[in-house]
Amino acid sequence: ALYLGAILLLSLQTASAQIVINEIQASNRETIEDVDGDSPDWVELQNVSATPYDIGGHGLSDDSTNPLKWIFPSYVLDPGERLLVWCSGKDLQFPSEEQVTRLGSTIEVRPTVLGLEQEWSYLSGLPESVGPAAGWSQAGFDASGWARGLPGFGFGDDDDRTEFERGVGAIFLRTTFDVDNLEALESLVLQVNYDDGFVAWLNGTRVISIHFPEDEEPTFASNSTRSREARRVQRWMVPEWIDLLRPQENLLAVAVLNRTHSSNDMSFLPELGTVGPTFHTNFELDSDGEVIIFSSPEGEIIDGLDMPEQSMDRSYARVPDGTGDFGYLLYPTPGTANDTHSSDRILPYEVGFSPSGGFKDGAQSVTLSADIPFDDFQIRYTTNGTAPTQTSSLYSEPIQISRDRVIRAAGFLGDQLVLEPASESYFITSRDLVLPALSVSMDPGHFQEVHNNTGARGRAAEREGFLEIFELDGSPALKTGFGMRLHGGAGRNGGFSIKKAYKAYFRGEYGDKKLRYPIIPDTGVEVFDKLVLRSNFNDAFRTGGGASYIRDQVLRDLHQDMGALVSNGSWYNLFVNMQYRGVYNVVERMDKVFFASYFPEDGENWDVIKTGDDILDGDSIAWTAMLNFFRNTNMREPGNLELAAEKIDIENYTSYMLLNIWGQNHDWPHNNWYAARPRREDGRWIFLSWDAEFGLGRNPGGWSSDTFNHVLSRSSSLSTIMSSLINSPDYAQYLIDELDRYLEGPLSPQNVIAEIRRHKSAIEGDMIEECRMSGQSIGAWNANVRTLEVFAQRRGPAIRTAILNSARIPMPRARYTRPNTIELVDPVEIRIFGTRFTDNTTVAFNDIPAPRTERISSRELLAVVPADMSLEGQPTITLADPVQGHFTARELLEVTLVRPAPRVIRPDLGSESGGDTITIEGENFTEGARVEFNGVPSPQVEAAGDTGEALSVVTPPGQGLVKVRVINTRPGDLPSTNELDFVYIPSEPESFLRGDCDGDGRHSISDGICILSYLFRGVQIGCPDSIDTDDSGSLGLTDAVYLLNWLFRLDPAPAAPFPSCGSDPTGDELDCPVGGSCG
């Protein structure tokens, strides 16, 4: 077991081990980056001996119970050599494939197998030449007649050592090579700079085909399927090639291909080699302090220490270098000798301010401090936003502040900056602001360059500043250095009186590499490398009337409501060098980092294209291929719409287009758009809303503009796609269906107005100040926002009509019907008016085919509405044509069903036995109507007259109070919505004499014979209940026996009614229609 005391002992002694832990940084913000651009913690090892040392199998750990927590690959440290080990948690002994092959990777590929000094045999010829000879890529082929040369191979660029005449066809190359120590080969990397494609064989096996079909054999006439400029190398990890290699006489054969035979460029520079080990542990360091151990393969401690708490961008190192005790270094020195500015106290990374900045109630006295134990350390500061230099004001006593002021302070050791500039903004002036605040401090001259240099773009236009974020309550939330640029197009013009947009970049050279703060609460993303500070230039007062400030944010949120990915945004007040610049919309910048935040499985491997087909990230190859597909593909042909769906996300594209078309955005589609796709085989393009400040009735005004045909008339890549897609009848119908779906949901007046009011409510508390700066009234702003709500209420029907009436929609269309309201009892004939009707046009109502359809003209159809209850209301009318496609119209026809409305029953009572004839009066009684008494149907219902206002009804048997309902039966059961009462009157009780079967009023043997005749001969009697002498409720031989027993024995007597007439005191199913002598 490893004890902490042993580690402490090691850390207190001058290291005597051959390999020592020499320097540690546990809070690396901007000191150094790894190959991924991250800033992990790190440990520096040093070989302090005079002999090499292989650290393979050794361990590095932050756990005293597990000294071999992370194990080193084989690596020999030469005497004096330093090795940087990243404590990143990435757990890598060798670089990952993504790290090696990513564009611009800084990992070195060592061409240990095949280098650029390897000589090749080559064969060239004109495109029409025959060849090369069969077997040219195999080991047994005789290439002794081929010419010899060194790479690169090409048309004479600076990197070509073997040149060819322009106009040649494919070039064929062969070379042989040996592999030393093949058994030790663990990885293999192919690295090629090429233009435009190639195919390679290793020892006779085809191993790679770049920009050429896998199943074709190249000839002199062959061309690459894509273009590529040889500007940088491309890499492939090819570990499967190792199995094809042998120690000697390996053959690599290559066909080099150009995109066209008239091309001016061709290049091929191949290398095959390995990458060295990398050192990324499976743990990270804790800046609060922890154990760090370097141990032997057996787990024995070679060096270790108990690292105390660390501060940002300071390190903890041995002084003197390699041998001394550990102390805090003011200057971290990864990979070089340790600096001598060392302290036994933790060193700060910036100047402290007391009190901190924020919104204050009065004047402040601000103290600056930094515990740097060196005599020549000084704090210098400024109050105009400029970053301090060694000549700025020297801090010696508290700074008194009586008005709004930003203090920027930095630490200097002599003339050298050792504490980066930090800022605190003190708001003394009373302000009644509601939104959170952003305070930017920077050199006033630099801000002037950012704001007024309208033509400056790119990194050269960026200027360093410092950003502070304040919460809703005015308290400080975060501060960091950052880079600031001007943003936008037309919004760049004008001077300081114009409210402009900016971009904020977070880079290690300024401060934090990433902004780690939920600055946009509506998204789950809390880490940003850049942001856009939108001024809503075309929707703001300082650039014209009609300003609402919220149009673009509302439209982006509506696209999110439609299910799309959007650039999220939030609202802030912006101050620059304490000057109020107004209400700003802080939004996400849509680039590969943005997409990686939402699609981590694809990382930053994205093509991102924006207005003008400009490449923001990746390349334009897939974009160009997609556009060529839509330009050259007949979308009417079967299967092509499915192919289109493999290139773009149809649902996303449609929602994006419909949003902007509905939004009446006429500064689009030729302008203001973004598209992106993950760079993988099945990656599809998605489209994102951006800069829609002209929308929602801003320009053009009103709500009735035909933005659909505006789109189709523009020269734009987005228009190219739409113009192609709507030639597909299936897509055209899908477009209309999606429009209707969105108009009932995300683009409904209710939802749009809710979004408008949400953002109005968010900023209205600070719009008084914004309006005052612009010379406008808050009433004018409120009126402008109300026009957005009017737009929301009226736009839907207007744009739907425009799309349905567009001549570009290739399908039959219905525009109105005559009549437009029908009562449906039996099938009804109507006329449908529209366009593009043919003899093959069919009609369906709610997908129920019309029993008959007849074309009157290309603009008129006769159709029979089927008698079907499901058509009640406003049924859809679908017109289908086998060539033109189908079209579904809505709200053209109102169908009502005839429901009966009974008012009164005359008479409203009858006998329990039924059979009474009554009259039901009311209206809307149709032929075949049914009448039910508590669900029991009447045996007979007839119309009383021909007005449909009365029914003659025969009552069924019943008892007591019942509900009577009338039901029309055409086109289906349509019950009346109301019910009427009917009362059954009970009959007088039946009177009979028990045992008097023959009805003569007395009892005798003839009654017994009568009972037996009924039972065995079927003789009918008038009162069956009278012969139930034992009152059992059923009739049988026992009744005859019971009566005869009584006649001859006088015991027992028959049950009541006996010995005189009366009713049956017990209930049963036997009746007595004829009471005999009692009746």
Mean pLDDT of 251-267: 93
CA distances (Å), 492 to each of 440, 542, 553, 996, in order?
Answer: 19, 13, 20, 118
Torsion angle defined by CA atoms of residues 987, 990, 991 and 995, in that order, rounded to the nearest 10 degrees: 180
Per DSSP, helices labelled H in 250-355 are: none
- For the stretch 849-865, pLDDT in tens is 999 999 999 999 999 99
**Placement of tokens 């009848």 in the chain:** 729
Strand-pairing partners, residue 688, are 674
CATH (one of 2.60.40, 1.10.3470, 1.20.58, 2.40.480) for 351-428 = 2.60.40
β-pairing, 325-329 with 41-47? unpaired
Which is more confidently placed, 1067 or 870?
Answer: 870
**Which of 94, 69, 81 has the alpha carbon at shortest distance from 19?**
81
- For the stretch 202-254, pLDDT in tens is 999 999 999 999 889 999 999 998 888 888 899 999 999 999 999 999 999 99
Q: Is 557 helix (H, G, I), strand (E, B) or coil?
A: helix
CA distances (Å), 491 to each of 533, 536, 577, in order?
Answer: 12, 9, 21
What pLDDT sits at residue 7? 45
What CA–CA distance (Å, rounded) separates 372 from 226? 60
- Domains of the chain: which residue ranges? 4-93+278-343, 107-275, 351-428, 607-804, 813-890, 898-985, 1005-1078
CATH (one of 3.40.50.150, 1.25.40.10, 3.30.360.10, 2.60.40.10) for 813-890 = 2.60.40.10
What CA–CA distance (Å, rounded) separates 769 from 767? 5
**Vertex 650: Cα angle to 648 and 652 (nearest 5):** 95
Q: What percent of the chain has pLDDT over 90?
A: 76
What pLDDT sits at residue 11? 43
Architecture of domain 107-275: Sandwich (2.60)
Mean pLDDT of 648-659: 98
Mean pLDDT of 73-94: 94
What CA–CA distance (Å, rounded) separates 228 from 225? 10
Which is more confidently placed, 621 or 393?
Answer: 393
209-223, 233-247, 778-792, 998-1012: which range is least confident on average? Answer: 998-1012
> What phi and psi values does residue 1035 have, to the nearest 5 degrees?
-110, 135
Angle between the N-to-C axes of helices 1037-1049 and 1005-1016, in degrees from 0 to 180, rounded to the nearest 10: 170
Q: How many CB atoms lie within 10 A of CB 676?
A: 27
**Which of 726, 744, 746, 863 has the alpha carbon at shortest distance from 807?**
726
What CA–CA distance (Å, rounded) separates 299 from 65? 10
- For the stretch 954-994, pLDDT in tens is 999 999 999 999 999 999 999 998 999 999 998 777 788 89
Mean pLDDT of 871-896: 92
Contact 705, 662 (CB under 8 A): no
Contact 852, 867 (CB under 8 A): no
CA distances (Å), 852 to each of 409, 652, 760, 861, in order?
Answer: 87, 39, 54, 10
Contact 989, 845 (CB under 8 A): no
Q: How many CB atoms lie within 10 A of CB 229?
A: 12
Domain 898-985 class, CATH top level: mainly beta
Confidence band of 1052 (pLDDT split at 50, 70, 90) = confident
Q: What share of the chain is helix, strand, coil (3-state, %, to 5)?
A: 20, 30, 50
What pLDDT sits at residue 1075? 65
Strand-pairing partners, residue 532, are 503, 587
Task: Judge if the upstream peptide bond of residue 518 is cis by omega within 30 degrees of 0.
Answer: no
DSSP 240: G
β-pairing, 515-516 with 501-505? unpaired
β-pairing, 501-505 with 476-487? antiparallel
Confidence band of 1001 (pLDDT split at 50, 70, 90) = confident
> Which 3-state string (H, E, C) describes 629-648?
HHHHCCCCCCCHHHHHHHHE
> Which 3-state string (H, E, C) describes 401-421?
ECCCEEEEEEEEECCEEEEEE
What CA–CA distance (Å, rounded) separates 865 from 852? 8
What CA–CA distance (Å, rounded) separates 388 from 410? 6
Mean pLDDT of 258-264: 90
**Which of 639, 736, 622 has the alpha carbon at shortest distance from 681?**
622
What CA–CA distance (Å, rounded) separates 237 from 109? 11
Give the H or E element holding residue 307: strand 301-307
Q: Residue 960 — left, alpha, or beta (φ > 0 → left; ψ -120 to 50 → alpha)?
A: left
DSSP string, 134-145: TTTTSTT---TT
Q: Is 294 helix (H, G, I), strand (E, B) or coil?
A: strand
Q: Which two tokens stand for residue 793?
A: 């209420």
What CA–CA distance (Å, rounded) separates 219 from 122? 14
Confidence band of 1064 (pLDDT split at 50, 70, 90) = confident
1076 pLDDT above the threshold of 80? no
Give the H or E element holding residue 593: helix 592-598
DSSP 727: T
**Placement of tokens 């090639």 in the chain:** 241
Mean pLDDT of 645-660: 98
Contact 511, 420 (CB under 8 A): yes
Strand extents, DSSP E, 383-458: 393-394, 399-401, 405-413, 416-427, 437-441
Task: Judge if the upstream peptide bond of residue 73 is cis by omega within 30 degrees of 0.
Answer: no
The answer to whether 4-93+278-343 and 898-985 have equal CATH topology is yes
Confidence band of 888 (pLDDT split at 50, 70, 90) = confident
- For the stretch 1016-1047, pLDDT in tens is 888 888 888 889 888 888 888 888 888 888 88
- For the stretch 147-180, pLDDT in tens is 999 999 999 887 899 999 999 999 999 999 999 9
What pLDDT sits at residue 807? 86
Contact 466, 481 (CB under 8 A): yes
Q: What percent of the chain has pLDDT over 70?
A: 98
691-726 as b/e: b if 16+ CB within 10 A: bbbbbbbbbeeebebbbbbbbbebebbbbbbbbbbb
What pLDDT sits at residue 1079? 65
- For the stretch 439-490, pLDDT in tens is 999 999 999 999 998 777 889 999 999 999 999 999 999 999 999 999 987 7
Count H helices and E strands in the chain, helices first. 15, 65
Q: Compute the chain's Rg from CA coordinates.
A: 46
**Which of 547, 567, 540, 571 has the alpha carbon at shortest distance from 556?**
567
DSSP 88: B
What pLDDT sits at residue 660? 98
Mean pLDDT of 842-848: 96
Mean pLDDT rounded to a whole number for the chain: 92
What CA–CA distance (Å, rounded) separates 213 from 202? 18
Confidence band of 69 (pLDDT split at 50, 70, 90) = very high
What pLDDT sits at residue 102? 84
What pLDDT sits at residue 5? 46
Per DSSP, helices labelled H in 775-811 are: 778-804
Q: Is 276 helix (H, G, I), strand (E, B) or coil?
A: coil
Mean pLDDT of 382-389: 95
> What phi and psi values does residue 787 have, to the nearest 5 degrees?
-65, -30
Give the H or E element holding residue 1041: helix 1037-1049
What pLDDT sits at residue 2? 40
Residue 628 buriedness (CB in 10 A; 0-12 / 13-18 / 19+): exposed
What CA–CA distance (Å, rounded) separates 597 from 1008? 103
What pLDDT sits at residue 390? 95
What pLDDT sits at residue 62? 96
CA 746 to chain centre: 16
Contact 570, 471 (CB under 8 A): no
What pLDDT sits at residue 238? 93
Mean pLDDT of 499-513: 92
What pLDDT sits at residue 13? 39
Q: Is 553 helix (H, G, I), strand (E, B) or coil?
A: helix
Domain 4-93+278-343 class, CATH top level: mainly beta
Q: Which long-range contacts (CB under 8 A, 24 or more apart) does 856-861 make?
A: 856/831, 859/833, 859/834, 859/835, 860/831, 860/832, 860/833, 861/831, 861/832, 861/833, 861/834, 861/837
Confidence band of 1 (pLDDT split at 50, 70, 90) = very low
Confidence band of 30 (pLDDT split at 50, 70, 90) = confident
What pLDDT sits at residue 979? 96
